[in-house]
Structure 1
Amino acid sequence: MLNEYTQVELPLINQLQLMSWQHIEGDVDVPYLTERQNFREVLLMERLHNAIRRINLDENTQPWLDDGRINSAIGVLERLGTAKLIEANQI
């Protein structure tokens, strides 16, 4: 049966996994399976925090951002809002 899942979502999931992304199988009724308290949460906070720390390394490959700076960056992402999302993506 051809549908959006088999034609769009599954090929994208497979492509991202080939690029070393981790796929979290979720459930539309159980938000904690996708590391959220509820489905209004767009950002996976712990993963985002860890990723920001991991990709911001100094010349000695040591993390250089402290928790305050990481939380500040996450705060900016949380406050984007839907009205500014298109403009933010264009920058």
Structure 2
Amino acid sequence: MAQTPDEKTYVEIPFIEQLTGLGWDHIEGDIDVPYLTERDSFRDVLLTGRLRTAIKKINLDDEGKPWLDDDRVNEVVSRLERI
């Protein structure tokens, strides 16, 4: 007897394909091993390492150099973690 297609078939897989097509990275995870998804715990919502890198990358001065120092980046991440 064939299984009925589920949410993963109709929603998750097509959405992952759409995002990877737009240039996003897909991290294949494991429901029991949080470090495979670049976090210490599944309670962590943000991938802080990637977030810090992205904040610096998108905040460049007129010469194309990052203008935010580590203290400012840490403040941004801290505010996002408290939301």
TM range (shorter): over 0.9
The answer to whether the aligner puts 1:31 opposite 2:47 as a matched pair is no
Could you tell me how far apart the structure 2 residues matched to 1:42 and 1:68 are?
A: 21
Paired letter, 2:33: V
1:59 equivalenced with 2:62 (yes/no): yes
How far apart, in 1, do the equivalents of 2:64 and 2:12 lie?
A: 35
Q: For the residues of structure 1 that align with 2:20 and 2:44, how far apart are their CA atoms?
A: 23
AA aligned opposite 1:13: I
Secondary structure at the residue paired with 1:74? helix
Pairing 1:50–2:53 present: yes
TM-score scaled by structure 1?
Answer: 0.85
Match in the other structure for 2:78 = 75
- Higher RCO, 1 vs 2 (CA within 8 Å, ≥6 residues apart): 2
State the 4+ residue runs in structure 1 displaced beyond 4 angstroms.
Answer: none
What's the Cα RMSD here?
0.7
Look at both structures and tell me which one has the larger radius of gyration over its CA atoms.
2
Q: What one-letter code is carried by the residue in structure 2 that aligns with 1:56?
A: N
Report deviation, 1:50.
0.4
TM-score normalised by structure 2 residue count: 0.93
Instruction: Give the drift of 1:26.
Output: 0.1
Q: Which has the higher helix share?
A: 1
CA offset at residue 2 of structure 1?
1.3
Identity of aligned residues (%): 56
